[in-house]
């Protein structure tokens, strides 16, 4: 499947968030206000 996706330029749409925004992201998910998959920027872990 990964080879197929790579060959046909299939990619996931994501919204990168910082760790400080995790609660807001969760609230948005509960409201159905999410268009993309959330991905936590691990570099932000040192900040929070």
Query: How many helices (H) and strands (E) in the chain?
Result: 2, 2
Determine the pLDDT at residue 47.
74
Return the sign of the alpha-carbon dihedral for residues 8, 12, 13, 17: negative
How do residues 1-47 score in pLDDT, each as one tens digit?
Answer: 999 999 999 999 999 999 999 999 999 999 999 888 999 999 998 87
Determine the pLDDT at residue 35.
87
Rounded to the nearest 5 percent, the helix, strand and coil shares of the chain are 50, 15, 35
Predicted TM-score of the model (pTM)? 0.68
């Amino acid at each position: 499947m990964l080879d197929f996706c790579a060959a046909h330029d299939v990619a996931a749409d994501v919204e990168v968030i910082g760790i400080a925004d995790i609660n807001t992201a969760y609230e948005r998910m509960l409201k159905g206000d999410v268009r993309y998959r959330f991905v936590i920027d691990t570099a932000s872990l040192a900040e929070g």
